[in-house]
Amino acid sequence: MIKLSKPHIDDASINSVIEVLRSGQLVHGNECASFEIEIAKYLGCKECVLVSSGTAALHIALQSLDLGTNTAIIVPDFTFPATANVVALQNFRVVNVDVNLNNYTISIDALKNVIENWRGPEKIKAIMPVHEFGCPVDMECLMNLSKEYELYVIEDAACAIGCIYNNKKIGTFGDMGCFSFHPRKTITTGEGGAIVTNDDKLADKVRRLRNHGIDYKNNKINFVEPGWNYRLTNFQAALGRRQLADLDNRIQRRSELTRYYCELLESVHKSGYIHLPELINGHSFQTFMIVLDERYSRNKVINFLKDKMIESNLGAHSLHSLQIYNNTNYCPVGGFLYRQGLALPLYEQMTKEDVQYVCNNLVECLYSDEVLSNE
């Protein structure tokens, strides 16, 4: 079976985890401290706070802003629902905005339109752009808009570590950036995540929220506010450090494989059977998603490929298409990507022959009547 994705864990990483397990220092250790410094250095920002998942990162990043009641937050319609769930869990209103068909990230025109025509009753206080699948959002336009309307920006860079926009790493443009180290992402600690920021006060606040609301002063523990336990373990951090050291190689390899996919699928793209994403500069290639033309049933395509030992799946979700968010804005592009998007296998250890095999079978599938939709 050619899997959709495969975590990449070498023997050196495994040994580093075993070492930490033998040491007995399972939480609050040197591996965590070093991993935070190394991430901040890699991204070129001041502070990094490790947490237990990407969702935990989004949750306490949003909570740390103390936005009060009567709050609305903008998120893209096409994303993993955790982006919206953390908004709903704060009792804030989820305001979804449609995305671009060519790169799956938030449409700046649609964003402008929603902000300019907003009539409340809640006040829009922040934007959470998602660098979907590793594609950088147009951060210059987005940050200009956020300044003009005095909105906070929390970047959901959960699947985009290593992604670059205008020579600067994604996650470092907004007030805070959130990352995930789930096994589907380019580097993994099993579960895990991080918040990065250049604001010391926000970093302190996020550190407290991660650790029961504790503030250390003069070596004394003070519980200064209610907090969670969202800590990453020391052995996970050991794994993460080895993975981070290999990140740029991984992105390079993923870039080569994605470009090869696009080359092999160019003709079916040109003939209108599928739609290929634009490979924007700075992309970090976490997932490769194509879009099937409306004539196809995605489920039938997934099953066709499964019979050829190829795993594929939907790419991401569309908020307004989900029952829990069905009172949010209708977003036609997000809905279309959710229905017809098809994520294809992508991981570093894949060979070019694997990519050929996937493409040959996909093309055969697209020419077959078996996978047409009945409607």
Ligand X SMILES: *Cc1c(COP(=O)(O)O)cnc(C)c1O
Least spacing, CB of residue 180 vs ligand X, in Å? 3
Distances (CA, A) of 332 to 99, 176, 221, 230: 9, 29, 51, 36
CB-based contacts of 102: which residues, under 8 Å, 6+ apart? 277, 278
Kindly tell me which residue out of 180, 211, 234, 328 binds ligand X, with binding defined by CB under 6 A: 180
Q: Is residue 334 within the footprint of ligand X (CB under 6 A)?
A: no
Per CB under 6 A, which region of 67-75, 80-88, 147-155, 320-328 contacts ligand X? Answer: 80-88
Q: Is residue 82 within the footprint of ligand X (CB under 6 A)?
A: yes
**Each residue of 302-334: b (16+ CB within 10 Å) or e?**
bebbeeeebbbbbbbbbbbbeeebeebbebebb
Least spacing, CB of residue 163 vs ligand X, in Å? 12
| Bridge partners of residue 195, in order along the sequence | 49, 178
Q: Is residue 47 within the footprint of ligand X (CB under 6 A)?
A: no
> What's the rounded Cα separation, in Å, for the pair 194 and 158?
9
**Each residue of 110-129: b (16+ CB within 10 Å) or e?**
bbbebbeeeeeeeebbbbbb
Of the two residues 193 and 282, which places its CB atom closer to ligand X in the complex?
Answer: 193
Q: Is residue 296 within the footprint of ligand X (CB under 6 A)?
A: no
Least spacing, CB of residue 158 vs ligand X, in Å? 3
Kindly tell me which residue out of 8, 59, 182, 298 binds ligand X, with binding defined by CB under 6 A: 182
Q: Is residue 80 within the footprint of ligand X (CB under 6 A)?
A: yes
Of the two residues 257 and 319, which places its CB atom closer to ligand X in the complex?
Answer: 319
Per CB under 6 A, which region of 49-57, 226-234, 235-243, 353-361 contacts ligand X? Answer: 49-57
| Tokens linked to 37 | 């410094």
Least spacing, CB of residue 129 vs ligand X, in Å? 10
Give the number of other Cβ atoms within 10 Å of residue 270's Cβ. Answer: 10
Inter-residue contact 194 to 169 (CB < 8 Å): no
Contacts with ligand X, 145-164, as mask; x by CB under 6 A: -----------x-xx-----
Q: Nearest residue to ligand X, using CB?
A: 54
Kindly tell me which residue out of 115, 128, 130, 362 binds ligand X, with binding defined by CB under 6 A: 130
Q: Is residue 234 within the footprint of ligand X (CB under 6 A)?
A: no
Number of residues that bind ligand X (CB under 6 A): 14
> What's the rounded Cα separation, in Å, for the pair 277 and 88?
30
Helix intervals (H) in the chain = 11-23, 30-43, 54-64, 82-89, 108-116, 139-148, 200-210, 234-245, 247-270, 298-307, 332-340, 352-366
Q: Is residue 53 within the footprint of ligand X (CB under 6 A)?
A: yes
Q: Is residue 83 within the footprint of ligand X (CB under 6 A)?
A: yes
Q: Is residue 233 within the footprint of ligand X (CB under 6 A)?
A: no
Which residues form the interface with ligand X (CB under 6 A)?
Answer: 53-55, 79-80, 82-83, 130, 156, 158-159, 180, 182, 193
